[in-house]
A and B are shown apart, each in its own frame.
Chain A
Amino acid sequence: MLQALRLLTFLAFVALALGVARSRHTPSARRWSDLFIGYVLAFNLFVAVSQTDGWPFSPYRMMAVDSRERGVTRSMVAFRVVDAAGRECDVDPLAWSPLFPMAVMGWYEVRFPRASAAERQAAASFLLDRAEDARRRRAAGERVGNERLLGPLTAWDVNLSRAVHVAPQGPLVAFRVYRLRWVAERLLEDEGSVQRELLYEHRRP
């Protein structure tokens, strides 16, 4: 229901804008533009005070976190694919375009724990197919995913993505999802301090 209210706030924004357009060159023009300006200011104030989403109005809660605690164990999900030779390789960061890996990680963080076995399998099978398609395109010298039109001028993702350190040599046969746990202070000194737990594996039938 909250989403419906948010939709209403956007519709109100557009309706007031159209009111400004319709009233142009009439005696009520200034009243409409005042009302429109007032709505924009008031709604921005509201999302800032309430710290709630009203996209395209937002409190922009980026980095708004308390990070003073030290030695915290952090975690994330990570993806790997396995090629026909049995080698575990990196996924092309553009394989799941238009989504970047971070958005797919979000699905595994939020939805995966509640997904049924069939849903998990369908998701993994799809992601493996897309990774294989990207591998084939790279091997053929083609541009992949989001870089298809603009090449190096493509807008990056907000977050960094893991580069391909180990590229697959042939068709992909499996997709793996890991849970990684680490302490940042230790990771800076020792790459091997990361704990890796296999969350899910999907193999082609």
Chain B
Amino acid sequence: MSVLGRRLAAGWEAAWYSPADPVGVIAARTILALHALWLALSRPALPDILSWPAELWSGVDPWLLRRFAILGLPVAVEQALYLVMIAALVATAAGIVPRLAGLTAALLVYHFAPLEDILAGTGGPFFRGFTLAVSGLVVLSVAERPRRDAPPSPEFRWPLVIVQILFACTYVLSGVSKLVSVGPAWASAQNFEGLVLGMVMPETRPVLAHLFVDQPLLCAAGGLAGLAMDFGVAAAVLVPGAWRIVVPAVAVTHVLIYFVMGVFFPGAPLLLLLVDWPRVLGRSHGRTVDAPRTA
């Protein structure tokens, strides 16, 4: 193997397989499950859409239905499955048969989440909050079962890093999309003002939108802050300790976005996935220092 190859292999090993405290995976699993549970209980009648008049369903691509396993089961069966999903999320959050419960929940969320916009949309429910519950819970359901008293292990590192990367992708890829679609001009004052104006509608008006009209400096700051938020989240995954700045900064930005643009991010509570929970709970130092001493 060349020097470069050895360095890449060592970097890969350090990034994915350096031993980590089990609490990180336990926290991620709990946060993902509780968040999905909050959304599921906020849409208690989601399966009922399947009983809506056929006329409302007539334009939906049959392959889109097959893709999400919407196969014409009786609505009562779908309602029962929704209850199974909720029970599985509760079990996952509580750590009761978490791997089986997590996988069950993930597959059922995959089935139900698209109902939120399937009548008019063509794809998944990208911004309605359920996305990470599907991919993240699949990842965590096949990871080593974490126990609080288990020693640090590579098996508690890579699943957590994947989940954090998947979450960071919701921001970073959004930033990439902006640059691909518009280029650096996306962050210009003119474009940002246009985006704010686009959210000023006859039926709804974000309460602080008017403050940005004809305010180039404020709009330029808004545009730069938007891209900084999208790409800054990556720092919380890549740079140890950066979450202390990134998480509160992004949370505040979400609040500002709501008041300026009227856009609510149901996935915002998942910022908690970026927190270094073992350190917050005072475990990571103890674990890594103790382990060699007792070996």
Interface stretch (choices A81-89, A106-114, A169-177, A197-205): A106-114
Q: Is the CB of A66 within 8 A of B185?
A: yes
Nearest CB on B from A198, distance (A) = 15
Q: Is the CB of A158 within 8 A of B264?
A: yes
Q: Is the CB of A33 within 8 A of B59?
A: no
Chain A residues 34 to 81 lying within 8 A of chain B, measured CB to CB, are 34, 36-37, 40-41, 44, 47-48, 51, 53, 55-70, 74, 76, 78
Using A103-B119, A148-B44, A158-B265 as known contacts, say yes or no to A1 and B53 having CB atoms under 8 A apart: no
Find the residue from B114, B134, B139, B202 having the highest chain A CB count within 10 A.
B202
State whether the Cβ of B283 lies closer than 8 Å to any Cβ in chain A: no
State whether the Cβ of A17 lies closer than 8 Å to any Cβ in chain B: yes
Contact digits for B97-120, partner A, Cβ 8 Å, 1 yes 0 no: 001000000010010001111011
Q: Is the CB of A103 within 8 A of B174?
A: no
State whether the Cβ of A7 lies closer than 8 Å to any Cβ in chain B: yes
Residues of A within 8 A of B129 (CB): 155
Using A17-B142, A106-B117 as known contacts, say yes or no to A111 and B59 having CB atoms under 8 A apart: yes
State whether the Cβ of B61 lies closer than 8 Å to any Cβ in chain A: yes
State whether the Cβ of A161 lies closer than 8 Å to any Cβ in chain B: yes
Chain B residues 260 to 290 lying within 8 A of chain A, measured CB to CB, are 262-266
Residues of A within 8 A of B200 (CB): 184, 187-188
Residues of B within 8 A of A20 (CB): 142-143
State whether the Cβ of A166 lies closer than 8 Å to any Cβ in chain B: no
Look across to chain B and name the residue whose beta carbon is closest to the beta carbon of A55.
B124
- Report Cα–Cα, A2/B124, bound state, in Å: 13
- Report Cα–Cα, A6/B63, bound state, in Å: 10
State whether the Cβ of A122 lies closer than 8 Å to any Cβ in chain B: yes
Look across to chain B and name the residue whose beta carbon is closest to the beta carbon of A4.
B63
Q: Is the CB of A60 within 8 A of B59?
A: no
Look across to chain A and name the residue whose beta carbon is closest to the beta carbon of B214.
A185
Residues of A within 8 A of B202 (CB): 76, 78, 180, 182, 187, 191, 194
Chain B residues 145 to 197 lying within 8 A of chain A, measured CB to CB, are 158, 162, 165-166, 169-171, 173-174, 176-178, 180-182, 185-186, 188, 190-195, 197
Nearest CB on A from B59, distance (A) = 4
- Report Cα–Cα, A67/B199, bound state, in Å: 11
Nearest CB on B from A101, distance (A) = 9
Nearest CB on A from B184, distance (A) = 12
Contact digits for A115-154, partner B, Cβ 8 Å, 1 yes 0 no: 1001110110010000000000000000001101110011
Nearest CB on A from B33, distance (A) = 15
Q: Is the CB of B59 within 8 A of A115?
A: yes
Look across to chain A and name the residue whose beta carbon is closest to the beta carbon of B122.
A53
Nearest CB on A from B169, distance (A) = 5
- Report Cα–Cα, A51/B45, bound state, in Å: 32
- Report Cα–Cα, A42/B61, bound state, in Å: 28
Look across to chain A and name the residue whose beta carbon is closest to the beta carbon of B198.
A67
Q: Is the CB of A156 within 8 A of B195?
A: no
Q: Is the CB of A123 within 8 A of B181?
A: no
| Interface size band for A | 35 or more
Look across to chain B and name the residue whose beta carbon is closest to the beta carbon of A60.
B174
Contact digits for A1-41, partner B, Cβ 8 Å, 1 yes 0 no: 11110110010011001101100100000100110110011
- Report Cα–Cα, A6/B124, bound state, in Å: 11
- Report Cα–Cα, A14/B109, bound state, in Å: 14
Find the residue from B43, B132, B192, B266 having the highest chain A CB count within 10 A.
B43
State whether the Cβ of B231 lies closer than 8 Å to any Cβ in chain A: no
Q: Which of A99, A184, A188 contacts B198 (CB 8 A)?
A: A184
Q: Is the CB of B59 within 8 A of A114?
A: yes
Q: Which of B55, B66, B162, B182 contacts A37 (CB 8 A)?
A: B162
- Report Cα–Cα, A21/B165, bound state, in Å: 20
Residues of A within 8 A of B263 (CB): 62-63, 158-159
- Report Cα–Cα, A36/B210, bound state, in Å: 47
Q: Is the CB of B158 within 8 A of A103?
A: no
Please list the residues of chain A having a beta carbon within 8 angstroms of any beta carbon in chain B.
1-4, 6-7, 10, 13-14, 17-18, 20-21, 24, 30, 33-34, 36-37, 40-41, 44, 47-48, 51, 53, 55-70, 74, 76, 78, 97-99, 103-104, 106-107, 109-111, 114-115, 118-120, 122-123, 126, 145-146, 148-150, 153-162, 180, 182, 184-185, 187-188, 191, 194
Could you jot down 21 A-B contacts, CB within 8 Å?
A2-B63, A7-B66, A7-B67, A33-B16, A44-B165, A47-B173, A48-B169, A48-B177, A63-B263, A65-B195, A66-B185, A68-B194, A98-B44, A106-B120, A119-B55, A119-B58, A145-B45, A155-B43, A187-B200, A188-B200, A191-B202
